[in-house]
């Protein structure tokens, strides 16, 4: 558990490297080749069936998002530096941890998408399982549809059908016996479905940076949890034009102090890259360097508290070229 002195040192060290990285560029701080394969490697979840889900032609949450990520990874040879993880085979056993029978039945009736949404859950759970077993050190899930808006309405909410990260958290708790889970959500949009799932739960710390004025109009900093979960929801509203420095400051002032008393057994990231600059559905100005630094901070938290156990799940990000570049920065930091 981090003491106040530890936290101050940790913050100073990370912020110092952040400033250096901003000048050098994240690509100059890329990981060296892995000298200890296995537990030091990064897992990567992807399946070609994720491309089959289409809301409608020209919709921003399109298959091209994953196509761009895979192409960028190949160009940078990152595809050779990750461990492929196939989705598990029985996600329907775990979706009820979060979603009601009525919701599941209605999603199941959606042609193609219902099955692909299940496969997205399967990918997330595969990554959590692989990290738990030590097959990989950490993992990124290039999955779609995204999930952090999904509740139990029986319909799509904010392009989401099943709440991948919430199901993954409960899977880590109920199946893999990790009691305390930290969920970091850096999507431009508030993860209202995730907040609702754990609003009264003191064993899940939900930390979200977002624009509360954007869809879904949620995420007020006044919402801090309920009952025994009071204090375990941390909402940080950030305005248009938010920079890397302002994002890092939000972590320093809102998240790191809480980790003095909340020591997670597993770290999950709702990795929404619509908080990147030039995203058509967001107005933040986070750079690829910023995502590299946030990933490094999340990794350090995982190293300090839970032997590095960390899984990141794709949420938003709709400028496909920008998304691909940000994901590569994210992977570089995971591989570091």
| Catalytic residue positions, numbered | 149
Cβ pair 160, 272 in contact under 8 A = no
Q: Write down the residue that tokens 């890397």 correspond to.
A: 244
DSSP three-state, residue 7: helix
Indicate the DSSP class of residue 41.
S
- Quickly tell me which residue has 């099943």 as its tokens: 162
3-state SS track over 242-274: CCHHHHHHHHHHHHHHHHHCCCCCEEEEEECHH
Closest Cα partner for 284 from 214, 183, 191? Answer: 214
231 DSSP assignment: T
Token reading at 10: 């940790």
**SS3 label, residue 315:** coil
Query: Dihedral, CA atoms, 253, 226, 117, 153, nearest 10 degrees?
Result: -130
């Amino acid at each position: 558990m981090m003491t106040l002195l530890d936290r101050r040192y940790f913050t100073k060290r990370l912020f110092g490297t952040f400033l250096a990285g901003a000048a050098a560029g994240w690509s100059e701080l890329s990981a060296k080749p892995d000298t200890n394969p296995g537990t030091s490697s990064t897992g990567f979840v992807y399946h070609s069936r994720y491309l089959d889900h289409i809301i409608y032609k020209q919709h921003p949450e399109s298959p091209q998002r994953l196509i761009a990520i895979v192409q960028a990874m190949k160009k940078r040879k990152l595809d050779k530096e990750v461990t492929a993880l196939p989705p598990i085979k029985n996600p329907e056993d775990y979706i009820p941890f979060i979603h009601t029978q009525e919701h599941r039945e209605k999603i199941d009736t959606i042609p193609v998408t219902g099955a692909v949404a299940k496969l997205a859950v399967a990918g997330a759970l595969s990554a959590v399982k692989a990290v738990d077993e030590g097959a990989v050190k950490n993992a990124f899930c290039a999955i779609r549809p995204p999930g952090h808006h999904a509740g139990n309405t029986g319909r799509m909410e904010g392009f989401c059908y099943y709440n991948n990260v919430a199901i993954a958290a409960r899977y880590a708790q109920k199946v893999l016996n990790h009691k305390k889970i930290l969920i970091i959500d850096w999507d431009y949009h508030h993860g209202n479905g995730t907040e609702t799932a754990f609003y009264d739960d003191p064993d899940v710390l939900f930390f979200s940076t977002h624009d509360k004025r954007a869809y879904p109009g949620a995420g007020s900093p006044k919402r801090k949890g309920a009952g025994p979960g009071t204090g375990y929801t941390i909402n940080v509203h950030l305005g248009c034009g938010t920079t890397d420095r302002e994002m890092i400051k939000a972590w320093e002032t809102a998240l790191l102090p809480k980790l003095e008393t909340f020591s997670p057994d597993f770290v999950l990231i709702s990795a929404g890259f619509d908080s990147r600059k030039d995203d058509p559905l967001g107005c933040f100005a986070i750079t690829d360097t910023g995502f590299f630094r946030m990933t490094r901070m999340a990794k350090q938290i995982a190293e300090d508290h839970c032997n590095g156990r960390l899984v990141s799940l794709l949420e938003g990000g709709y400028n496909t070229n920008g998304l691909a570049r940000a994901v590569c920065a994210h992977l570089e930091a995971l591989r570091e």
